[in-house]
Amino acid sequence: MLIKVGYEITFELPAPVAMVFLLYLHPSRSATVRKAEPLRLQPSLPVSQYIDSFGNLCGRLFAPAGRMVLSHDAIVEDDGLPDPQRTDAIQHAVQDLPHETLLYLLASRYCEVDSELTNFAWSQFGISPPGWPRVQAICDFVHGHLRFDYNQARSTRTAAEAFRERVGVCRDFMHLAITLCRCMNIPARYCTGYLGDIGVPPAPFPMDFSAWFEAFLGGRWYAFDARHNEPRIGRILMARGRDAADVALTTIFGGNQLVSFNVWTDEVFEDNIATTSQRNLPCVNATA
């Protein structure tokens, strides 16, 4: 399967500013890229790249005052299969976990592994079978507990606040699920990237970057999605981290206004590989 992904993001900058961004495909996806256009900037600016501590490809630049447009297109090969399911995947005892997974058991900016959610998690999921069934039970709970509402998006909402308010967007679903997993001693990390309506009915709202999470079970990381709560086709990873704070699309060190934000991800075919459908998205806080 071939999937065309891309974006066009426009900012108005009242003064020169430095910027860091995670708008590239994840390095683990490099072998699957059939065709990619370099990141395009208007005006043309020099960009330096680096790999952060989570293995994400990042860019940084210094932009002059005025309007700045960032855009990118890529065609990515995908196996076309739904997210892998391994219902017998075990939960590891903490003492048996690989060193690099321990970070994903700890509290982070949006995921408070504290007494409120820890006590709830053990009372709610302590009797569930450990391993895959426990993570799925957490996803089932979060999926039913929160109501999805773009109009209720808030960049400062934490997992505990989402738990109490019972509303949010995809990042809130993932933060709550990640936190409950960590409370149950299951390493969990936040993912962001593209997820189109492939194999499912089209969603009745504009395209956006998506969020999901990965849980470490049976010696590897598996993708889970507490918002959709079903295996999906065509997740194209951009970045991973402890939570959304680690994978902000853009971090601008100064005043800025988001003027427009367009994202696309569509299945394409060899005979019409240039076809792309683009849909407008209302402005959101791109630093969140």
Residue 87 lies in a domain: no
Contact 57, 27 (CB under 8 A): yes
Please tell me whether residues 268 and 220 are part of one structural domain: no
The answer as to whether 227 is a domain residue is: yes
Does residue 286 lie in a domain region?
Answer: no
Same domain, 160 and 64: no
CA 98 to chain centre: 23
Do both 215 and 277 map to the same domain? no
d(CA 140, CA 177): 9
Alpha carbon 27 to its chain's center: 15
Residue 234 in domain: yes
144 and 179 part of one domain: yes
Instruction: State the Cα–Cα distance between residues 57 and 62, nearest whole angstrom.
Output: 18
In this structure, the answer to whether residues 109 and 190 fall within a common structural domain is yes
CATH code for the domain in which residue 262 is found: 2.60.40.2250
Do 105 and 223 lie in one domain? The reply is yes
How far, in Å, CA of 127 to CA of 251, rounded? 42
Domain that holds residue 68: 2-79+247-281
Instruction: Tell me the CATH number at 176.
Output: 3.10.620.30
∠ Cα 214 216 222 (to 5°): 45
193 and 253, same domain (yes or no): no
Q: Count how many domains the chain has.
A: 2
Same domain? For 71 and 177 the reply is: no
Nearby residues of 37 by Cβ (< 8 Å), 6 or more positions away: 72, 73, 74
Residues 194 and 111 in one domain: yes
What is the model's pLDDT at position 273? 63
Within a 10 A sphere around the Cβ of 257, how many other Cβ atoms? Answer: 11
182 and 74 in a common domain: no
CA distance 288 to 171: 10
Q: Are residues 110 and 72 in the same domain?
A: no
Instruction: State the Cα–Cα distance between residues 73 and 71, nearest whole angstrom.
Output: 7
In a domain, 276, yes or no: yes
Same domain? For 106 and 242 the reply is: yes
CB 255 within 8 A of CB 131: no
- SS3 for 201-212 is CCCCCCCCCEEE
- Tokens at 242, concatenated: 């402890």
Q: ∠ CA 100-101-102 to the nearest 5 degrees?
A: 95
Per-residue pLDDT, 285:
34
Q: What is the pLDDT of residue 122?
A: 96
Tokens of 204: 């009745």
Which tokens go with 143? Answer: 């999926």
Q: pLDDT by residue for the chain (288 residues), tens digit each?
A: 999 999 999 999 999 999 999 999 999 999 999 988 889 999 999 999 999 999 999 999 999 999 999 999 999 999 999 999 999 999 999 999 999 999 999 999 999 998 789 999 999 999 999 999 999 999 999 999 999 998 888 999 999 999 999 999 999 999 999 999 999 999 999 999 999 988 888 877 777 899 999 999 999 999 999 999 999 999 999 999 999 999 999 999 999 999 999 999 999 987 666 544 333 333 333 333
